[in-house]
Chain A
């Protein structure tokens, strides 16, 4: 499976793609007190100088009505701060080198770029606590950062916040073979944990395309979903405990390894999914399921969306306990993947089908699971739910099916500009939104729908040659209003970050959001943790 590392080679090739394809670049200037800019949103169209080799020309966009201003109550770094950090962490963990800062200031999609001047890499919880205590007393804003694979701009600074990257805290602390409980530091890369557990006969309960770079602390802080949620549930169920550092440097040790513990309020759930705005997660204790020996995977074609839905209902009933993934992609997504990714084969080359579904089963008995899957698929085929399909005969074929599904985001990046939306909707209505968007956008852009159909999670992506406000106007706020009307979530698993910080009201009531604001004020009175993100800016004033 593809490692989605934000390596410099990917960035360089992306840069050249940007320079070739874009003829207009929108540059967003975040306003701060020092620069003398107009107080409103500054959109500059820059047609020239795209061939600059040294700077990354990044594309940013957001609703035209968003204004992000640097909070004047935050201090700026001074040399005393730097020497304090150097003394606390040692020279190697305090980075001011421009090239490295460039990387950590930019998100994976190259949509958001901050201007932080300082990157800190603590190695212990104590160091994290000292950093936060100091920053809190000095009112220095902080961005906790893990693998920097987030898709909503939550992992990079907006202005000059100090970046605290937990990548150096990557030890596995303990693993209990009987219960399957893994305790590790927040900077462990997910793929490394998966390999470690593989040797022990266990697996991580979550799996996502970014596993080669994302870190477990970030996964927990964003309540990452992924491909196996339909089988193993969300992190709220699998995380047994965590250790977090609050904004004032207090360390909350909630690193329990117990399956059942009803003593008091379960505070860890606040940190799971709060995207680093309530505290920095430093250690995680997670329940890992045993690795089951038999995995089977089928790649199927369906004529229309209602067949996909019926197939899902049948799969849940007939495959029941062995179903471990149910993903879908439409013909445009398949087309994109086949055209933009290398080494990808169409498993059903005879014709292009309107919808493709990927079903995976995981169980303990190879032949039993195989028979079950074959029987289910053959009866679905006879019932007209499936037009065609293939079953993987070995692990390589299985990986190639996953490559197609996991490669859609990458293919979208290569195809040019992409507007990404991650929505939870009732399954019956899910694809109606895609069709509506297609009608709205017409020839302006290509609309692609794919996602975790098993969880009712649609990844709606609009692909165009370049970013254009005309396209954005047709998408937002229509997409959010549509979702809100059907009581869906405007962010199923990606989180709010910076991109949707002011959109929360589409999915949550005002009283709920007000209470969230109170909790934020309680745990982080100076608001130094990951500011400008998650909650609406109006709450801070």
Chain B
């Protein structure tokens, strides 16, 4: 079985985000970029499945400008066998990503598609669900545990939902999106980094895949949330009541 993992290059999780002065978006120049943490978890899960003998190959996929290759190299250094880079010059919305993934799935024929549940830059949480819909595959999103049954070709997925945990049984091929508690991604060791240099990265263009990237969504404005006002230390209960009544108007 082949596993395909979609990874995204985003602003590093630990960086302090700044909004661009023209409010068109977030500052990404000269800012540390890394693989989306949920995508790391997805890749780790795929590698674990391969190591347990249930899969033969792990293919990492990323879409975007040429620096996506850095993220794919990280994926290869973690242990992925091959990588695919879809060249696109603009930011892609989840629906476009899902359509592109559908084309790639038709080419590669994986038995399992694993993605992170959402990207930390747009927090959309849509791509996994959309691709499952387009392909007509079952989906297990927010996975916190995945168990495979090779003979029956099913995956049992524990999902983290608001009320607790929901367990689903999915027929393969299926789409799984990963949540934080699924696993702890491995570090990229030097021997693997060395091996990664010789692993192939196949490039596709949008024309080759024949997908239209016209988006129906336009980002109008990006602004910071209003700054929190500093707290005030009060000296007596009377003062508290006065403030609650006259300033906060809650009593």
Contact = CB atoms under 8 A, between A and B. Distances in A.
Please determine whether chains A and B interact with each other in the same assembly.
yes
Interface of A: 198, 293-295, 299-300, 345, 347-348, 366-367, 374, 377-378, 381, 386, 388-397, 399
Contacts of B35: 393-394
B190 A388 contact: yes
Contacts of B187: 299, 347, 390-393, 397
B206 to A, nearest CB: 25
Nearest to A382: B194
A198 B13 contact: no
A390 B34 contact: no
B77 to A, nearest CB: 8
Contacts, number: 62
A528 B49 CA distance: 69
A358 to B, nearest CB: 13
Contacts of B70: 367
B198 interface: no
Contacts of A386: 190
Contact of B12 (A345, A348, A378, A395): A395
B246 interface: no
B32 interface: yes
Nearest to A393: B74
Contacts of A294: 32
Contacts of A377: 190
Interface residues of B, number: 24
Contacts of A394: 12-14, 32, 34-35, 37
A377 B194 CA distance: 10
Contacts of B14: 394-396, 399
Interface string B183-206: 010011111011000000000000
A198 B74 contact: no
A394 B34 CA distance: 6
Given A345-B184, A394-B34, A378 B194 contact: yes
A435 to B, nearest CB: 28
Contacts of A347: 187
11 contacts: A294-B32, A299-B187, A374-B193, A386-B190, A388-B191, A391-B190, A392-B187, A393-B78, A393-B187, A394-B13, A394-B37
A393 B40 CA distance: 10
A378 B190 contact: yes
B13 A388 contact: no
B64 to A, nearest CB: 16
B194 A391 contact: no
A392 B31 CA distance: 16
B221 interface: no
B235 interface: no
Chain A to chain B: the 9 pairs with minimum beta-carbon distance, closest first: A394-B34, A395-B14, A390-B187, A389-B190, A395-B12, A293-B30, A393-B74, A347-B187, A390-B189
A198 B189 contact: no
A390 B13 contact: no
A357 B107 CA distance: 45
A396 to B, nearest CB: 6
Contacts of B12: 394-395
Interface of B: 12-16, 30-32, 34-35, 37, 40, 70, 74, 77-78, 184, 187-191, 193-194
A392 B78 CA distance: 11
Contacts of A391: 187-188, 190, 193
Contacts of A392: 187
Nearest to A370: B70
Given A391-B193, A393-B34, A395-B34, A198 B16 contact: yes
Given A293-B30, A293-B32, A390 B190 contact: yes
Contacts of B77: 393
Contacts of A374: 193
A192 to B, nearest CB: 15
Contacts of B74: 393
A390 B186 CA distance: 10
Contacts of B188: 390-391, 393
A392 B14 CA distance: 13
Contact of B189 (A345, A389, A399): A389
B47 to A, nearest CB: 14
Given A394-B13, A395-B13, A396-B13, A388 B189 contact: yes
A176 to B, nearest CB: 21
Nearest to A291: B30
Contacts of A345: 184
A366 to B, nearest CB: 8
Nearest to B13: A396
A397 B40 CA distance: 12
B40 to A, nearest CB: 8
Nearest to A292: B30
A395 B30 contact: no
Nearest to B74: A393
A392 B193 CA distance: 11
Nearest to A299: B187
A395 B15 contact: yes
Given A198-B16, A381-B191, A397-B187, 19 more contacts: A294-B32, A295-B32, A299-B187, A345-B184, A367-B70, A374-B193, A377-B190, A381-B190, A381-B194, A386-B190, A388-B189, A390-B190, A391-B193, A392-B187, A393-B78, A394-B14, A394-B32, A394-B35, A395-B13
Contacts of A389: 189-190
B112 to A, nearest CB: 23
